[in-house]
Chain A
Amino acid sequence: MATVETLYLPHYPSYPIYISLFKNVSNAKFLRQQLLEANAAFEYAFLDGTMILSPRHLHAATFRALNDSVYNRLKSRNIHSELVFSLSPNNNIADAYRRFGIQDSTTSLLAIKIPLSNPEITAESVSKHLGDAVEGESVAFGEEALKGVTDVKALRKGVILGMMALKGT
């Protein structure tokens, strides 16, 4: 069982969002492989925890993904990939995954699940599935927990370089 935070964004009270944070993850390669194979059981946004500055940073991207999803104008395949894409300062989905998504070397993992209107998915089921699938130490998600995880230097590099690319186009 993993610790799962249930988040409700203001103005979207009917869409729960499940967030869990893992440290010392050892099977990132396997998890990433599931994404690449589009394994339906692994419908998550797997993020590299080092690239998330604060809960608010994540909330902003989540809001954007959710809002676009409700309006049916996702630019990527599903809401979870859209979340990763929303974090990126540029318009390249693959690039967004490289910067913010899970890598084979990832040890700090953020897993986010947005079930939209699927009543079968609950905090419990997410917790159980993640607890089984992720080999790592589950920590409660929050400002403090993220602080120890974020790699500000890498983040700064990623975002600023992204912005420069944006400027250049």
Chain B
Amino acid sequence: MSTAPPTIGATTPLPLPSPFTHSPLTLLTQGAEALVFRTTLLNAATPVALKYRPPKPYRHPLLDKRLTRARLLAEARVLVKCAREGVQVPEVVAVGVEEGWVALGWVEGGTVRGVLDGYTPSHPPSHPPGEQKDGQREEVLMGLMGRVGRAVGRMHEVGVCHGDLTTSNLMVRRKEGEKAQEHFETGGGHHTAGLEGLDGEIVLIDFGLATQSIQDEDRAVDLYVLERAFAATHPVAEPLFREVLRAYGESYKGAKVVLRRLEDVRMRGRKRSMLG
């Protein structure tokens, strides 16, 4: 590509499709398939996350169009299905099917990833270990993990598999009126002792790889991916993930079977062996 890669946080004049071409958008993050911007839609008081899948120059234009369209529609349909069934996901505000964008309701809050980075028990002992506080924090954190398990369980129950379930794709919605917490925005580094912001509900985001599936295998792989994400986020996150699984196991009928299947997946990894 001839243009310089955009930097995160900058208001960038990317060649976006109309009507966003000349709007000042703030780039939040960039993945392999999509760029995510923050902007407003419908009225100035409604912030949205605009997810744009730019065309891939290396693909045949016709194929590119079809793939983008199909993926976008799949994502939007899954989101609408989840919302209808009461799973906490961002709402679909508007879709530009041909242009490759979808506008999603803004979720105020931080990622579980950010929480874990700042909160796990092993974090620097420079912090005087006020015992009571630690115990309380542990409890709040466990509560959060329970909600993660139930949120994932609820999603699986309605027949949706996320496909890319990581701690960054789990958000904790900040309650209205609550102030922004530093530990959310900065991820690691800062760790405030506060417990605020951890009691919000769990919102699942990024359904770009989601499928509508009720197979135990797909569900187990979802959990396996999440487990790996937990392990990668923090070495001592294991007891936390155990709580996630416990809550998951109780969240819907059929969850136990998935947990047993998870054992198999752990043994062999995410991809099913094609031998024999």
Chain A residues within 8 Å of B, Cβ to Cβ: 7, 9-12, 55-56, 59-60, 63-64, 67, 70-71, 73, 163
Contacts and interface: CB of A to CB of B under 8 A. Distances in A.
A59 B42 contact: yes
B86 to A, nearest CB: 14
Interface string B9-26: 000000000111001000
Nearest to A55: B43
Nearest to A66: B19
Interface in B82-134: 84, 93-94, 96, 98
17 contacts: A7-B43, A9-B41, A9-B42, A9-B43, A10-B40, A10-B43, A11-B20, A11-B23, A11-B39, A12-B19, A59-B42, A63-B42, A63-B94, A70-B19, A71-B18, A71-B98, A73-B98
Given A11-B39, A59-B43, A71-B18, 9 more contacts: A10-B42, A59-B42, A60-B42, A60-B93, A63-B94, A64-B94, A67-B94, A70-B18, A70-B19
Contacts of A67: 19, 94, 96
B93 A10 contact: no
A10 B18 CA distance: 12
Interface of B: 18-20, 23, 39-44, 46, 84, 93-94, 96, 98
Contacts, number: 39
Contacts of B18: 70-71
The 7 A-B residue pairs with the shortest CB-CB distance, nearest first, are A59-B42, A11-B19, A10-B40, A11-B23, A12-B19, A63-B94, A56-B42
B148 to A, nearest CB: 29
Nearest to B21: A11
B44 A10 contact: yes
A144 to B, nearest CB: 15
Most buried by B among A10, A12, A67: A10
Nearest to B95: A64
A150 B75 CA distance: 31
B19 A56 contact: no
